[in-house]
């Protein structure tokens, strides 16, 4: 007989570090706000003079998300992992580009290295904490030496409309 809820079974079979559980719980507290925003976003186009009809998947999406805490947990854990990976890439590229010309940034390298090791060990909570520490260090170093470039150069910043780049 097939498993009736495979994500729940998978989520239950993998023990989570308390820090990851805490991050997932924090992200879980955002769910009501995100769901309200999602329902407003999904409903608005459907009420505009019949421009298009939602697919059965789109029409049932809100109910599906609300009724499956195991999927919420899985999505939150994936989000934390993606945020951590993207932040690590950003920090690594930034330090690689700027440590040579700004020696004050050298103190960030061991922190980012530790974060990368924690991420590789799938300790996303520790990696996230270390990334936060690296961002704080860079902000402090930049406050002392304003010649050091920001983490996100003007060309990397999101456009005024973040959906403009979504295809």
> Domain residue spans in the chain?
17-78, 80-144
User: Is the pLDDT reported for residue 45 higher than 60?
Assistant: no
User: Whose CA is closest to 72, among 151, 7, 143?
Assistant: 7
Q: What is the pLDDT of residue 154?
A: 41
User: Whose CA is closest to 71, among 109, 119, 31?
Assistant: 31
Distance CA 95, CA 146 (A): 16
User: Whose CA is closest to 150, among 102, 79, 89?
Assistant: 102
Mean pLDDT within 56-75: 67
Token digits of residue 146: 């304003």
Contact 46, 54 (CB under 8 A): yes
Mean pLDDT within 84-94: 95
Mean pLDDT within 38-53: 52
66-70, 126-130, 154-158 — which is least confidently predicted? 154-158
Tens-digit pLDDT profile for residues 101-150: 999 999 999 999 999 999 999 998 899 999 999 999 999 999 999 999 99
- Single pTM value for the model: 0.57
For 41-55, the DSSP string reads HHHHHHTSTTS-PPP
């Amino acid at each position: 007989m097939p498993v009736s809820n495979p994500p729940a079974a998978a989520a239950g079979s993998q023990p989570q570090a308390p820090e990851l559980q805490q991050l997932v719980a924090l992200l879980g507290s955002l769910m009501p706000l995100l769901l309200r925003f999602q329902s407003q976003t999904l409903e608005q186009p459907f009420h505009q003079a019949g421009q298009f009809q939602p697919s059965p998947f789109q029409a049932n999406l809100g109910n599906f998300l609300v009724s499956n805490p195991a999927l919420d947990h899985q999505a939150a854990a994936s989000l934390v992992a993606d945020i951590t990976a993207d932040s690590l890439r950003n920090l690594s590229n930034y330090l690689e580009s700027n440590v040579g010309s700004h020696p004050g940034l050298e103190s960030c390298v061991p922190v980012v290295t530790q974060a990368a090791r924690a991420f590789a060990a799938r300790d996303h909570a520790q990696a996230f904490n270390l990334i936060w520490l690296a961002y704080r260090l860079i902000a402090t170093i930049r406050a002392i030496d304003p010649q050091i470039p920001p983490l996100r150069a003007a060309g990397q910043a999101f456009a005024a409309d973040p959906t403009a780049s979504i295809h």
